[in-house]
Amino acid sequence: MPDMTFETLTADVSPAVPIEGDHVLGGWVCAPDAFDPGAPRTVVFCLAGGRCTTSYFDLDVRGLDGYSMARHLAARGFVVVALDHLGLGASSPLDDICIVTPQVAAATHDHAVRAIADRLRTGTLVDGLPAFVPNALVGLGHSMGGMVIVAEQAEHGTFHAIVVLGHSGDGTWEALTDDERLLMEVAPEDRELAMVELARVRARGLPPETARRAPPGSFFNTDVPRAVKGAFGAQRSELLYSCALSTMIPGHTDAEKAAIEVPVFLAFGDHDLTDDYEGNAARYASSSDVTLFVLRDSAHCHNQASSRAELWDRVAHWITTRVSRAASG
């Protein structure tokens, strides 16, 4: 793999956070080392799923190479930025992590993306990365991170295209408590306050019988090495309870999906948490271009699957042919 620029970064998101204080999103940028500032360059902004940090996109596995989606995409000419959600990882900690609803997560990420794009244009993001004008901004989210990307695009129009990996609108009705199920009777725009209170209940610890139990094999296919599972477990963080609860409510972000007009690349594993691939693609009813891809031999954590490079190559090809060229033209 060619040499790359890999540097940590932070972005001030204080104006987008609904509590006082200084707040940043922390993460990193990965870019080709051989860099022509005049060449068209697309920037991919990555958001991880529940309990995951930016390491999901750059997993360090002892004794094994090739588990970094970020470096794979950078080797194909993209600039990749990954940021931790507010309250997690390298981002600012919070006393009450339940305030981070999908709307708050989307607003803070949008604020960071716009600030980082400005710093790329002026060459002030990190040392070693010359100034350039991005020809397209692409949002890429896995699982709960995909839901945040969806909310962000619908509410803020942040990106020229989005890549949604493993996020469906199916929800998990059987894992909701009776009080949480009542949220379905509340208009989506009015659910946020009630959802935060119920998320705080989850954060304090639910009885074991109400905890979500995914079927065996839903997260990793049987051929995923133990070392990879160990590395994945080592990077895990706290859960964004309000965002996680949002993914459990069937159809909670259907209105946001239906409002998105930019191209969408939607991917699932063939042993993912849903098998309603076409039904989930149909939720993006206003998009000008919806591409559906099902990754073979993969459960929910696609970046750890033996077939992961097939997904990464398809994403790279899609961005190049359907997004970057259209933006440049």
Instruction: Read off the pTM.
Output: 0.95
pLDDT tens for residues 22-76?
Answer: 999 999 999 998 888 888 899 999 999 999 999 999 999 999 999 999 999 999 9
The reported pLDDT for the residue numbered 128 is 87
The residue written with tokens 């559906």 in the block is: 292
Q: What is the C-alpha separation between 306 and 298, in angstroms, rounded?
A: 7
Length of the chain: 329
The sheet with strand 4-12 has its strands ordered as: 4-12, 24-32, 79-83, 42-47, 136-142, 161-165, 264-269, 290-295
The reported pLDDT for the residue numbered 328 is 60
Distances (CA, A) of 193 to 33, 94, 105, 197, 328: 46, 18, 15, 7, 42
Residue 3 has pLDDT above 70, yes or no: yes
Phi–psi pair at 161, nearest 5 degrees: -165, 160
Phi–psi pair at 190, nearest 5 degrees: -105, 5
107 Cβ partners below 8 Å, 6+ apart?
16, 152, 155, 156
* Domains annotated on the chain, with CATH: 4-328 (3.40.50.1820)
Phi–psi pair at 218, nearest 5 degrees: -75, -25
Residue 210 has pLDDT above 70, yes or no: no
pLDDT tens for residues 80-111?
Answer: 999 999 999 999 999 999 999 999 999 999 99
Q: What is the C-alpha separation between 144 and 38, in angstroms, rounded?
A: 35
Q: What is the C-alpha separation between 70 and 117, in angstroms, rounded?
A: 18
Helix (H, G, I), strand (E, B) or coil at 32: strand
Q: Minimal CA–CA distance to 31: which of 141, 140, 129, 116?
A: 129
First to last CA, the chain: 30
The reported pLDDT for the residue numbered 33 is 87
Task: Please check whether residue 66 is in contact with residue 46, taking contact to mean a CB–CB distance below 8 angstroms.
Answer: no
Cα-trace Rg, the chain: 19
Q: What six digits make up the tokens of 198?
A: 């119920």
The reported pLDDT for the residue numbered 174 is 87
pLDDT tens for residues 9-30?
Answer: 999 999 999 999 999 999 999 9
Q: What is the C-alpha separation between 147 and 140, in angstroms, rounded?
A: 10
